[in-house]
Structure formats: C-alpha cells, structure tokens
Amino acid sequence: MSEVDEQGARYQASDLKRFGQAILEAVDTPRDLASIVAGSLVEANLAGHDSHGVIRLTSYVAGVRTGQVQPTARAVVESLGDACARVDGAWGWGQPAAHIATDTAVNLARAKGVGLVTVGRCNHIGRLGEYVEKVSRAGQIGLMACNSPPAVAPYGGYTRLLGTNPIAWGAPRASGNPPIVVDFATATIAEGKLRIAHAIGSKAPLGAVVDKHGQPSTDTAAFYDGGALTTFGGYKGFGLSVMAELMAGMLSGTGSSSDPDYNHGNGTALFAIDVGRFLPADDFMEQVDALEGRLHAARPAAGFDAIQMPGEPEWRSRSRRTAEGIPIPSAALAAINDLAEALGVSPI
Ligand SMILES: NC(=O)c1ccc[n+]([C@@H]2O[C@H](COP(=O)([O-])OP(=O)(O)OC[C@H]3O[C@@H](n4cnc5c(N)ncnc54)[C@H](O)[C@@H]3O)[C@@H](O)[C@H]2O)c1
C-alpha cells in the first residue's frame, strides 16, 4: 500500500511544523512552547512514527479543553543533590518538560559521569527516541522510560493494569553515522498504531489484543470494547513494563498506571551515562562501528533483504521524508484541517 492515499498529500516538515504551531498557539500555548511541541510531532512524522505525529493535534487540543493540559504552564527543575534531579511538568505540555529533563540529565552526566532525572505531573511526551537521540549527540548513552494510562494486561491476564510503557536507549556514534536508537512500547502494539489500524479498518496483529473475556482477538474493536493490549515477548515485555512502572511512574512521584486515579500523562525517567568516563570516547565509537560492520555483513535469513541497526529505519525514513515530504493520508488531513477551521487557523 502506498504511504499516502489518493486524497492525501505530502508536506514539507517546515510547513507542517508551522501549521501545528499555529494550532497550539490558537489554544493559548506560548510561541516557544508551541514551537517545541509542534517540532516534536513533526520529528515523529519524519522518523516514520505517524501515530505520534501531527495526527495527535486533535487529542492534544482536546486535552487543553478538558483541562488535562495547562497550555501556559512551564516545567521547573529541582536538584535532588549529587547526580539527581526532578522536573515538575506542572501539567503543561510534556515535550518541553522532557527536553528540560534531557538537558538536565546531560549536564549532570557531563559533570558527574551519570545523571538521573525524573518528570512528574507530565503530559504526553510523544516519541521517546527524540530525547535519547539528543543524549547520544552529547556523547552519552541515554536510557528513558515512561508509564502511561492503563491499556495493557499483565502477562497471563486480560485486565488493563499497565501503560504501553515505552522504553528507549540511545548511544553515540562517530560523527556522520546515525546514532543507535532503540525505542518501543512494551505493548505488542503501541496504542496509537492500534488506533490508526482501527480507523482504517485493518486487523490487529495476532496476539496483540485480548478481548474483555480474555480471548485473543485480531479485531481492533475488541480493545475499545473493554479488552486490553498484551505485552510484547510474553513475560519478558511484561517484566520491562513493570520496571517502567517502578523506574518512571513511581520514582517520578506519578504512581503506577494501575492506580485508580491514573488517567493521563507520562511519569518519566531519563538516565544519562557519559561514555568518556568509562573508556576513551573514540574507542567506544570504533567498537560500535565494528559491531555495526559485522551485523550489517551478516547474511540475511529467508524473508529479509538486509540487517538494519536499531534506529536505522527511523534514520532512513527521516532522509526519505525530508527529501520527498511527509505523507498525510486523507482521513488524518481532514481531521487536522477540521480542527484548524474550528480554531480559525488556515488549513494546510
Ligand atoms: N509517550 C508515550 O506514552 C508512548 C507510549 C507508547 C509508545 N510511544 C512511542 O511510540 C513509538 C512507536 O513505538 P512502537 O512500539 O510502535 O515501536 P516499533 O515497534 O516501531 O519499534 C521501533 C524500534 O524498533 C527498531 N526497529 C524497527 N524495525 C527494525 C528492523 N527491521 N531492524 C532493526 N531495528 C528495527 C527501530 O529502530 C526502533 O528502535 C516510539 O517512539 C515510542 O517511544 C510513546
């Protein structure tokens, strides 16, 4: 299937960002914060994760209207001593809070070797890869996790008690090489991707959804009718999801997704490690290059054309979409243009 249907269109990242920023400013977001949030959404589109791209503008504006997002609130950093800090997201936009946490963790790791920063009272931060990639550009390894509203069943169950709880790592490369970025939900399918599948009438991957009676289902509606997502890799993804609850949800003061009053946002934690404290940074980069060389040179198994490094699909997507534009299918285009019209913003 083509990336964009007949009624859809392709847009340059700069045009989409301007459009997103205008919509966010129309709901009273200060210009600098609107620029960060819109930039983050478009960055997700460039990376190929459209579920976290400009299509989110509709739910973001709905969040402002319900009072879940305070569009003018600004995040505040509090030192916890040594290499630790916490950010109070003040229920403002999640992306600026996550960027402040990222910059703080990088500065702590530069000064102390490692830095650990949590973010509480934090709205949706979007695609985690954006932040760990920023850490990697500082010559550091980043590890990030967050919890999120309950959507996922524990291994062996079918009740929503865990968030889709993404975990991401980023590692530096010698200049010019794409960073290593590992970034995924601990659910078998990210909820945003299920929502897109549901909207276009596609099936859910087998094993990704259990219905409200605990039966596996490929019907996306089974999730919205009281079912749950599963964790990827059975008990292994379940274990990672539980650790995201502990490390990000609880350390940030947000609590666990299973708490009855957890209904929105991302309890977040970001850990940065200064590679140069442990070995000369050039040695590390050379070893990563050598590893990549061996992995790329491995013969592909049946059904595969080539072996890719984690982060490579996003890097390829970014190059392609920067050159060709970002495809927005017709249904998504209609939704964001309807939103724009309602806010008095020119359609894209
Ligand atoms: N903020 C939130 O509440 C929240 C919740 C869930 C997910 N998310 C975000 O949603 C995004 C999508 O998550 P997802 O679970 O759909 O990710 P995904 O299943 O698409 O996996 C992406 C990861 O797998 C790697 N990858 C993909 N194909 C590969 C291949 N062929 N070879 C090697 N590596 C490969 C990518 O480089 C990337 O690291 C993530 O950016 C995540 O942070 C956010």
With the most atoms of ligand 1 within 8 angstroms of its CB, the residue from 49, 99, 165, 184 to mutate is 184
Alpha-carbon distance of 71 to 257, in angstroms, equals 24
Amino acid at 330: S
Whether the CB-CB separation of 326 and 46 falls below 8 Å is answered with yes
Compute the distance from residue 345 Cα to the ligand 1 centre, in Å. Answer: 32
**Token digits for 41?**
């959404």
Confidence at residue 74, expressed as pLDDT on a 0 to 100 scale: 98
With the most atoms of ligand 1 within 8 angstroms of its CB, the residue from 43, 148, 183, 314 to mutate is 183
Confidence at residue 6, expressed as pLDDT on a 0 to 100 scale: 57
Which is the closest atom of ligand 1 to the Cα of 94?
1
- Percent of the chain past pLDDT 90, that is, above it, reads 92
Q: Could you state, in order of their start, the residue ranges of all structural domains in the chain?
A: 1-72+311-348, 75-187+230-297
pLDDT of 85 > 90? The answer is yes
pLDDT of 156 > 50? The answer is yes
Which is the closest atom of ligand 1 to the Cα of 126?
1
Amino acid at 99: H
Per CATH, is 75-187+230-297 categorized as 3.90.550.10?
Answer: no
The chain-wide mean pLDDT, for the chain, equals 96
Please report which confidence band the pLDDT of residue 206 belongs to, taking 50, 70 and 90 as the band edges.
Answer: very high
pLDDT of 3 > 90? The answer is no
Please report which confidence band the pLDDT of residue 1 belongs to, taking 50, 70 and 90 as the band edges.
Answer: very low
Confidence at residue 312, expressed as pLDDT on a 0 to 100 scale: 96
Instruction: Name the closest-CA residue to atom 41, ligand 1.
Output: 127
Confidence at residue 2, expressed as pLDDT on a 0 to 100 scale: 46
What mean pLDDT comes out for the span 338-347? 98
Whether pTM > 0.75 for this model: the answer is yes
Q: Write out the DSSP string of 314-331.
A: HHHHHHHHHHH-EEE-HH
Compute the distance from residue 346 Cα to the ligand 1 centre, in Å. Answer: 32
Alpha-carbon distance of 25 to 32, in angstroms, equals 10
Whether the CB-CB separation of 37 and 89 falls below 8 Å is answered with no
**Token digits for 232?**
């990827």
Whether the CB-CB separation of 168 and 128 falls below 8 Å is answered with yes
For residue 9, which phi and psi values (nearest 5 degrees)?
A: -155, 170
Alpha-carbon distance of 284 to 275, in angstroms, equals 8
**Token digits for 195?**
């929502």
Confidence at residue 199, expressed as pLDDT on a 0 to 100 scale: 86
pLDDT of 205 > 50? The answer is yes
pLDDT of 4 > 80? The answer is no
Q: Which fold has domain 1-72+311-348?
A: Hypothetical Oxidoreductase Yiak; Chain: A, domain 1 (1.10.1530)
pLDDT digits (tens, 9 = 90+) for 294-337: 999 999 999 999 999 999 999 999 999 999 999 999 989 999 99
